Amino acid sequence: MNKTKKSLLFSGLALMMSALLLVGTTFAWFTDSVTNKGNVITSGNLSIEAMAYDVDTAKDTYTIPGVNNGNAFGFKDQGTNLKGENVPAIINEKLWEPGVSNAKLLTVTNTGSLATNVQVKFDVKDGGLMNALWFDFINVENGQFTKRPMSQLAALGDATTVTLEAKESVSFILVYGMNEEAGNEYQGKDFSADVKIIATQATVEKDGFGNPNYDKDATFPVTNNKSFVESLENGGVVTATGAFDWDTVAEMKGDTKSTLNLADDANITVTKDGILDLKDNAEVIIQGKGALNQDMESEIGYLIRAAGSSKVIIKDGVFVGGLTCVQAGDNAQVEIYGGHFEALVDWGGNYWLLNLIDNSEASIKVYGGTFVNYDPSNSKTESPVANFVADGYKVVSEEKDNGDTWYTVVPED
């Protein structure tokens, strides 16, 4: 019995010593590792440089039939960089007379890392001289001279698009003159054209899945009434930039879908017949910080009119209507998530920023935005008074020093 107890005692002591030896140790598993450092994604940049050069007849770089009587000519080595502040006009002709002509060399370089589409746009202003002038805009790589009436300048610029890979360049010769047969009726008249060189993404690069169409909606900005209206009517992404007058109807119909980006510098004066008119199943999304400002010359008084089963989604922007910013009828749907809305005049003492056509099935839902002197939760444009504010949202008001009241739609607490 004692011998057994001793054996058990020694066994217990051995186990205790084994446990003590394990204190402070860890079990190790077989491991391995690979470290790959420096993984970075860098966005490409879109950048162009444009230079203009004056004629130097002492050089013989170009010989173009029909230009300079077929004699060789070239351009000066020093040019004008058109990208910067206070750049002088590249065309500044004075005391012209019938038969006089001139030319400029315009070189555009893609200085960025992304492929780009380049377009040269001409915003013309005729002071009575345009019909006495001619021009051509020739790509020096593959163009041929065609004497064209100056009235075609803007259209030719819009139709001329060149794709440049990174660091590539393209050069154009703008040649222009006064018709030899121009009569006395053109004395004292003038003509001017703003030249704008625009770059936008080219659908050349592919994404990681080999998809070349990820940027297919990249488009040139619109800078005048004609391109603005046509782009909205054709559908797709429309980016408006700069200041210009919008004075004709933009009619979206069928299944047309457009996204209107109002660039930060967009300041569009809506006048005369200017209106965005949606019909059928057309849809438009409006976003950006730019402005649509209707003036007192407007013959319509609305900025946006939706009918049929169309849909209007406003995410941001500044909207100043003559009387109404958005009107909806038939089965149209309007959704407003942001933006600033106001009107030039009231009607019967009330402001009509949002309005439904009587007895229609149209709807307006407001999820955000600021409305001057108009409470969208208490819209007196309707009878009985309507609440356009969406469920889960409310209106907060703020009195301004000029006596206006701003009503802003925000989420409920």
- Read out DSSP for 285-352? EEEES-EEEE-TT-SS-EEEEE-TT-EEEE-S-EEEESSEEEEE-TT-EEEE-S-EEEES--BTTB--
Query: Does pLDDT of 19 surpass 50?
Result: no
Query: At residue 342, does pLDDT exceed 50?
Result: yes
Q: What local confidence, expressed as pLDDT, does residue 160 receive?
A: 77
Residue 64: both structure tokens together: 């173009």
SS3 call for 141: coil
The pLDDT of residue 22 is 43
pLDDT on residue 218: 60
Q: Strands of 57-149 (E only): list them.
A: 74-75, 80-81, 101-110, 116-127, 133-139, 148-149
Q: What's the average model confidence in pLDDT over 389-408?
A: 96
What are 284-298's pLDDT values in tens digits?
999 999 999 999 999
Which residue ranges form the domains of the chain, and what is each CATH number? 48-83+97-201 (2.60.40), 228-411 (no CATH)
- Higher local confidence (pLDDT), 224 or 213: 224
pLDDT for 10 equals 46
Q: Are strands 302-306 and 275-278 parallel, antiparallel or unpaired?
A: parallel
pLDDT of amino acid 378: 96
Band the pLDDT of 31: cuts 50, 70, 90.
low
Tokens of 17: 């010593």
* pTM of this prediction exceeds 0.85: no
Tell me the pLDDT band of 167, cut-offs 50, 70 and 90.
Answer: confident
| pLDDT-derived band at 113, boundaries 50, 70, 90 | confident
Does pLDDT of 279 surpass 80? yes
Two structure tokens written together for 112:
């960025």
Rounded mean pLDDT of the chain? 85
Greatest mean pLDDT among 57-61, 171-175, 216-220, 249-253 lies in 249-253
